[in-house]
Every structure is written in structure tokens, then in C-alpha cells.
């Protein structure tokens, strides 16, 4: 008998231990925690003893040696969590400040402070309003790449623990999982593999935050943070109760507030010049303002994206080329719902470059498509005539 995949192996193990529920559950848990290489090693030996008296003893000895690889998280990450829990309050419109030698999520490159945007509170409040007592809460939060969805995870963790008294939060990153606990004075962080903390994730009082990856169907309340890519979250959207919310891009006042505090070496004129090109995207007007490769990527996107790619991004942004999102941004509707948007050109600069490349007539068609594709216009949104008679959005 060939154990071709996890499903076949689990089925075989369940059959073997159908009269011993305790052993079955323990061994299945160990089996499903294996990564691909570990699973292959177990199956190589297992297939050699299938249907022999040695099969059960082999599994019990082999799998008893495997256990979830929980360990204490790096000290910098633990210090971050302890400092976050020690804050008096996390208030929107202000900066979240940790001690200078404590870094956000333990990452020195992220620094020790972040601006708590007004929309962070709005999104959090909206999630709490949409929660149902009878079904798991699941939220997808997406929007224009580069606007700080990962930093929102930090604020979200703080508000969940401090305002909603959530005692277990699992942060699911691209290559690892971390379990943050806050139970009275017991504040801790454990590190594990992507297959660890399954017991906690099956607890309906746990919150799981998935940043850069895919989310599975578990009992925990789940928040998935993602750039616009339907392939990443199409399965997540099928789960009962999943709701999509959109994070707005930054206002200019937020950009300059952050510049003064966190990027004091960037002059106002420099940032304004980048805003005219990129639109209000902090990754490119603040964080990577002096990164020549990052700055060149806008010209690369303009050159690379065909007219059809830009049109596709307007009509179906979640299946568009990633490069097109540098040219076309999500403009979230005003209000407290965070569930409606229009696709907006990034800047006058981008519109002019597209017109130079593809012609004024194409730009006119672009606005026509925006009208048809969105079927929605935020009250007060205006479309002005830009240089040389070309259309461009105004905030």
C-alpha cells in the first residue's frame, strides 16, 4: 500500500486505531504536524511495515519522537510584546511609541514608533460591529500595496489584548507562527513552525492574524492582511462569515505628520515631489524615498504595463498584475463601512505618462471604464482636467 499523501496516511492511521480514540488523536496530531521532509521520512519506513505486526509499534515509536517545535521567541520579540502591553493606551491620530531599544515586532528596521492612523480605529470598530456571536469572525483586509497593512497588525494586537481582553493571539507570518499570550501578569511569546499552535487556533477565543500567506478554516477568529491578489485569498473568502474590508491610502497630513516624526531627514519639498508622482503611498514617499531602485520601479511599471493591464486593474483589481497597482490605487469610500471603493489613478504624473505612451484617447476610455466598472462614485469625488487636457483625480 502506497501512502501517497497526508490524506491517505491519516486515513490509514485512523483505521488502525479506530478502537483507540486517544491514541488515534495523539498520533494524528503528530502526523499532521510534520513538514514535507519529515512526512516523507516517516512514510518511507511505514510503507515497509504496512499490514505487518510491526506497523503499530513502528508508528507509536516513530511519531512519539515528534512533537510541536514550540520554543521561546527571540528576546527582542518578547520585549516588544511586553512593552506593547505596558502602554497606557493606543490612541488613533497619535504615535505608538516604544522604548528606543525596543522594536516593532522585534524588527530593528521597523523602528520603535508608528502612527496610529484614524482608519485603524475605524477598521477595528467595524470588525467589532460585524462580529457574530454564532459564527467565527473572519476578515480580509486589503488595499493598495505599500500603505502599512502589516503595521496595522501591531495596533490590532494591542487593541484586542488591552480593550477586548483577548488572551491568545497567533501571528501567522510567511515562514513561522508566533503565539502571543497576555494573561494578567503572564505575558509571553512562543515561536513555532507553520504547523504549530493548532490547539490554540482551534480555540474560538483565540485571534489569528495572517500576514503574507493564506488562511485556513479554523475555529479562531481570523484576520487576513493581504495585497490585492484573489489567488491568495479566494479559498478564505469561501469560508462562512468572511467579510472584506478595504484600508484607505494615506492622507497628505498623515504623510507629513509621519515625515516630521519618523523621517526628519526628508525635506517637505522632497516628499511633496514624490507625492506628485506616487500618490499617497508611504512606502515610496517616506520609507524608500532615497532608494534609487524603488523609485525607478514606478517608471518600470509604466513601461511594463500594457494598456490592457491598466484597464484590467481598473475593472478587476484583485486579479491584476502587481505592477499595475503602482499606477492605479484603491480609493475607499468615505464613512465607517470600509467596504466600498473606486479605482483611482495614482497621480497626475502617472496619467500624463500613460497619455504620452498610449495617447489621450486611451485616457478618456480609462475614465469611461471607471464609471462602468465601479458603478459607484463617492460623494464629492471630482475628476479634473489636468495638463494638456488630460483627466486626473483630485483628492
Domain membership of residue 271 (yes or no) is no
Cell of 57: 509499534
Q: Are residues 48 and 189 in the same domain?
A: no
Q: Tens of pLDDT along 338-358?
A: 999 988 889 989 988 988 887
Q: Are residues 78 and 195 in the same domain?
A: yes
Domain membership of residue 275 (yes or no) is no
Q: Are residues 207 and 90 in the same domain?
A: yes
Q: Are residues 82 and 150 in the same domain?
A: yes
Domain membership of residue 168 (yes or no) is yes
Last residue of a domain, one of 46, 64, 82: 64
Q: Domain range for residue 197?
A: 71-246
Q: Which residues contact 385 (CB under 8 A, 6 or more apart)?
A: 391, 392
Q: Are residues 40 and 82 in the same domain?
A: no
Q: Are residues 194 and 304 in the same domain?
A: no
Q: Are residues 324 and 373 in the same domain?
A: yes
Nearest to 223 by CA among 164, 284, 146: 164
Mean pLDDT (the chain, rounded): 87
Return left, alpha or beta for 295; rule: phi > 0 is left, psi -120 to 50 is alpha, else beta. Answer: alpha
pLDDT of amino acid 60: 83
Check which CATH number belongs to the domain holding 170 and give it.
3.40.50
Q: Tens of pLDDT along 248-293?
A: 999 999 999 999 999 999 999 999 999 999 999 999 999 999 999 9
Domain membership of residue 29 (yes or no) is yes
Last residue of a domain, one of 218, 246, 274: 246
pLDDT of amino acid 389: 32
Domain membership of residue 58 (yes or no) is yes
Note whether 178 and 284 are within 8 A (CB): no
Q: Are residues 50 and 96 in the same domain?
A: no
Domain membership of residue 263 (yes or no) is no
Q: Are residues 306 and 193 in the same domain?
A: no
Note whether 91 and 155 are within 8 A (CB): no
Strand order in the sheet with 186-192: 71-72, 186-192, 177-183, 168-172, 207-211, 221-225, 138-142, 242-246
Note whether 243 and 250 are within 8 A (CB): no
Last residue of a domain, one of 220, 246, 272: 246
Cell of 303: 513601461
Q: Tens of pLDDT along 164-216?
A: 999 999 999 978 899 999 988 889 999 998 888 888 999 999 999 999 778 88
Domain membership of residue 251 (yes or no) is no
Q: Are residues 222 and 77 in the same domain?
A: yes
Q: Tens of pLDDT along 363-391?
A: 666 666 666 655 544 433 333 333 333 33
Cell of 222: 481570523
pLDDT(129) > 50 = yes
Domain membership of residue 369 (yes or no) is yes
Q: Are residues 32 and 98 in the same domain?
A: no
Mean pLDDT of 27-42: 80
Q: Are residues 57 and 79 in the same domain?
A: no
pLDDT(111) > 90 = yes
Overall number of domains in the chain: 3
Amino acid at each position: 500500500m502506497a501512502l501517497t499523501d497526508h490524506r491517505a496516511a491519516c486515513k490509514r492511521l485512523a483505521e488502525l486505531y479506530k478502537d483507540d480514540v486517544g491514541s488515534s488523536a495523539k498520533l494524528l496530531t503528530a502526523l499532521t504536524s510534520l513538514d514535507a521532509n519529515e512526512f516523507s521520512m516517516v512514510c518511507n519506513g511505514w510503507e515497509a511495515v504496512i499490514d505487518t505486526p510491526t506497523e503499530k509499534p513502528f508508528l507509536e515509536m516513530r511519531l512519539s519522537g515528534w512533537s510541536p517545535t514550540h520554543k521561546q521567541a527571540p528576546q527582542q520579540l518578547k520585549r516588544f510584546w511586553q512593552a506593547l502591553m505596558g502602554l497606557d493606551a493606543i490612541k488613533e491620530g497619535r504615535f505608538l511609541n516604544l522604548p528606543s531599544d525596543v522594536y516593532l515586532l522585534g524588527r530593528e528596521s521597523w523602528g520603535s514608533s508608528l502612527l496610529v492612523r484614524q482608519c485603524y480605529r475605524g477598521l477595528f470598530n467595524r470588525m467589532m460591529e460585524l462580529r457574530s456571536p454564532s459564527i467565527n469572525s473572519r476578515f480580509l483586509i486589503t488595499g493598495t500595496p505599500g500603505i502599512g497593512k502589516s503595521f496595522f497588525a501591531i495596533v490590532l494586537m494591542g487593541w484586542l489584548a488591552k480593550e477586548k481582553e483577548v488572551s491568545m493571539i497567533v501571528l501567522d507570518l510567511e515562514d513561522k507562527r508566533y503565539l502571543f499570550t497576555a494573561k494578567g501578569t503572564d505575558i509571553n511569546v512562543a515561536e513555532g513552525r507553520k504547523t504549530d499552535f493548532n490547539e490554540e487556533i482551534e480555540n474560538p477565543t483565540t485571534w489569528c492574524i495572517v500576514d503574507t500567506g493564506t488562511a485556513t478554516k479554523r475555529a479562531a477568529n481570523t484576520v487576513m492582511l493581504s495585497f490585492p491578489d484573489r489567488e491568495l485569498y479566494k479559498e478564505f473568502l469561501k469560508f462562512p462569515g468572511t467579510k472584506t474590508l478595504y484600508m484607505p491610502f494615506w492622507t497628505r497630513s498623515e504623510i507629513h505628520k509621519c515625515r516630521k516624526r519618523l523621517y526628519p531627514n526628508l525635506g517637505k519639498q522632497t516628499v511633496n515631489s514624490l507625492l506628485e508622482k506616487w500618490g499617497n503611498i508611504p512606502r515610496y514617499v517616506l520609507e524608500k524615498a532615497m532608494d534609487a531602485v524603488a523609485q525607478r520601479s514606478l517608471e518600470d511599471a509604466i513601461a511594463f504595463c500594457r494598456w490592457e493591464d491598466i484597464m484590467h486593474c481598473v475593472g478587476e483589481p484583485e486579479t491584476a498584475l502587481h505592477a499595475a497597482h503602482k499606477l492605479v490605487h484603491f480609493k475607499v469610500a468615505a464613512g465607517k463601512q470600509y467596504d466600498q471603493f473606486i479605482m483611482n489613478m495614482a497621480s497626475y504624473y502617472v496619467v500624463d505618462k500613460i497619455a504620452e505612451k498610449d495617447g489621450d484617447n486611451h485616457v478618456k476610455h480609462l475614465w469611461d471604464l471607471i464609471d462602468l466598472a465601479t458603478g459607484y462614485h463617492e460623494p464629492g469625488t471630482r475628476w479634473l482636467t489636468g495638463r494638456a487636457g488630460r483627466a486626473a483625480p483630485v483628492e
